[in-house]
Amino acid sequence: MRTLIRHVLASTTPCEGVTVQGWVRTRRDAKGFSFVEINDGSCLACLQVVVDASVPGAGQLHDFTTGASVSVQGDLVASPAAGQRWELRAQRVELVGKADASFPLQKKGHTLEFLRTIAHLRPRSNLFGAVFRTRSRLAHAVHQFFQERDFIHVHTPIITASDCEGAGEMFRVTTLKGNVDGDPATDFFGRRTYLTVSGQLEAETFACALSNVYTFGPTFRAENSNTARHAAEFWMIEPEMAFCDLAGDMDLAEAFVQAMARHTLEHCAEDLTLFERFVDKEVRKRLAFVVERPFQRVPYAEAVAILQRSGKAFEFPVEPGANLQSEHERYLTEEHFKSPVTVFNYPRTIKPFYMRLNDDGATVTAMDVLVPGIGEVIGGSQREERLEQLLDNMKFQKLDPKDYWWYLDLRRYGTVPHAGFGLGFERLLMFLTGVGNIRDVIPFARTPGSAEF
Ligand code: 4AD
Ligand code: MG
């Protein structure tokens, strides 16, 4: 039976009759035998296999080239070589699939840009193997975090008729041929539909029934921002809590980011070592820092004052009442506070209709969690639970209440204070791994002008 290399390498005793299967990374020939490094993606490390020229299958060794798939059976013995505990003494080897010299991952040191052009093969590289193992472990950690706290997982729809964020950055979904702006009643769903930008509105309906819920799924934004932190398709985790205010929301958001950092330190240690060596020397230190220290909290008005006092020449000037730019967010976390920061109480004018209006009439209970190196990873708020005020907000944002009748019903029948947030999973992964471009933490990136694979 096949054993994953990760388990083989974790063995505490020598072992006979082990079968491993994977892809050849390198082969070195000596007189009468060869060393073959095999990786199966289950862990960062390769298993060294020593193949005597006399074992069955060794006649094909010349085809054990970089990228070829092979199957090996042998005995696990203590390795005399430095830097590795075990090696496999092959008793039989078998070529499963050839890879000729055109296999593009021949040598180390390809650029990330080049590797993006071979997104179908890059998971076989050390870096991307590490990134996507970490992504998988973190996805598990997300569910664990919420399930342990009695949050109920809700699958919200991917096709929707409402623009949750009101930013008009939706991808249309239509089966209309020719004139797609024709009569919506003749379209597939009998109305205009889009790919969702957020599962929040639907999550709210479930929170107002099941108390604490969360969603974890793909979301889509047709924003034409070609930056290292924006993707057209990204995954978002959106918890929503009934009987919860802004303070409770910030508590959960900060605890969540800390728990993900702790999980990475504890469960992705081998891959983290690679990130530390080749991607970001500070990554482990930064995670330890985040786990240990409380986040800073600062109202938007104070954040703006700090930025104005900073004397920094920003590309985008700091304007009270305007959105913080990513350079402003990074100044706050990296230079001023030198820690993650939660900014709250933003101006009403720059935030969506669903956020709760503060008593000052000018700000809403919005909060963004900003982290060093990235800026915003979380955006959330306490929701407007008062029907009249919500209607007023919709008027303010020029939305038609008729389109949101079901959302308004939540305020008509047993309304409760409630709050939630959205965490961009890829932004979190960038923070936890140090990887600087969102295209490199998602298996197949969708960005403006690019949807290959
Ligand atoms: O701040 P946003 O727009 O908030 C919402 O969508 C709310 N409905 C969430 C809620 O309250 N339930 O987006 C939330 C997060 C951002 O903080 C960011 O991490 C990520 O989603 N995000 C993106 N990530 C990658 N590419 C993009 N284009 C993103 N836009 C937002
Ligand atoms: Mg936001």
Quick: pLDDT tens for 55-95.
Answer: 999 999 999 999 999 999 999 999 998 889 999 999 999 99
Closest residue CA from atom 31 of ligand 1: 424
For residue 52, report the phi and psi dihedrals to the nearest 5 degrees.
-75, 140
Two tokens at 79? 């390795």
Ligand 1: residue of 236, 240, 355 to mutate (most ligand atoms within 8 A of CB) is 236
Closest residue CA from atom 27 of ligand 1: 230
Last residue of a domain, one of 97, 132, 150: 97
Residue 198 has pLDDT above 80, yes or no: yes
- Ligand 1 nearest atom to the CA of residue 381, by list position: 11
Closest residue CA from atom 17 of ligand 1: 378
Average pLDDT for residues 380-391, to the nearest whole number?
98
Two tokens at 244? 């919860």
- What is the C-alpha to C-alpha distance for residues 79 and 98, in angstroms, rounded to an integer? 28
Ligand number, closest to the Cα atom of 165:
1
17 lies in which domain range?
Answer: 5-97
Task: Answer yes or no: is 112 within a domain.
Answer: no
Ligand number, closest to the Cα atom of 383:
1
Q: Are 376 and 428 in contact (CB under 8 A)?
A: no
Q: Which amino acid is at 144?
A: Q
Q: Are 5 and 45 in contact (CB under 8 A)?
A: yes
Task: Answer yes or no: is 450 within a domain.
Answer: no
List, for residues 29-39, the tens digit of each pLDDT value: 999 999 999 99
Among 160, 166, 223, 222, which residue's Cα sits nearest to residue 351?
166
Residue 388 has pLDDT above 90, yes or no: yes
Question: 253 and 168, same structural domain?
Answer: yes
d(CA 141, ligand 2 centre) in Å: 23
Task: Answer yes or no: is 21 within a domain.
Answer: yes
Residue 293 has pLDDT above 90, yes or no: no
Closest residue CA from atom 18 of ligand 1: 424
| CATH code of the domain covering residue 43 | 2.40.50.140
Question: 194 and 274, same structural domain?
Answer: yes
Average pLDDT for residues 413-429, to the nearest whole number?
98
Task: Answer yes or no: is 110 within a domain.
Answer: no
Which amino acids bring their CB within 6 angstroms of ligand 1?
A: 164-165, 198, 200, 221, 223, 230-231, 234, 236, 238, 376-381, 420-422, 424, 426-427, 438
Last residue of a domain, one of 97, 130, 153: 97
Residues recorded for the chain: 453
Question: 148 and 70, same structural domain?
Answer: no
Task: Give the CA count within 13 Å in the CB-facing half-sphere of 181.
Answer: 0
Task: Answer yes or no: is 109 within a domain.
Answer: no
Average pLDDT for residues 336-351, to the nearest whole number?
96
Query: Residue 227: how many CB atoms within 10 A of its CB?
Result: 11
Ligand 1: residue of 427, 429, 440 to mutate (most ligand atoms within 8 A of CB) is 427
Residue 215 — very low, low, confident or very high, per pLDDT cuts 50/70/90? very high
Residue 107 has pLDDT above 80, yes or no: no
Residues linked to residue 450 through DSSP beta bridges, in sequence order: 447
**Of the given ranges (22-31, 160-169, 171-180, 389-398), which has the lowest mean pLDDT?**
160-169
d(CA 237, ligand 1 centre) in Å: 9
Closest residue CA from atom 2 of ligand 1: 379
- What is the C-alpha to C-alpha distance for residues 250 and 241, in angstroms, rounded to an integer? 12
Question: 348 and 268, same structural domain?
Answer: yes
Report the domain count for the chain. Answer: 2
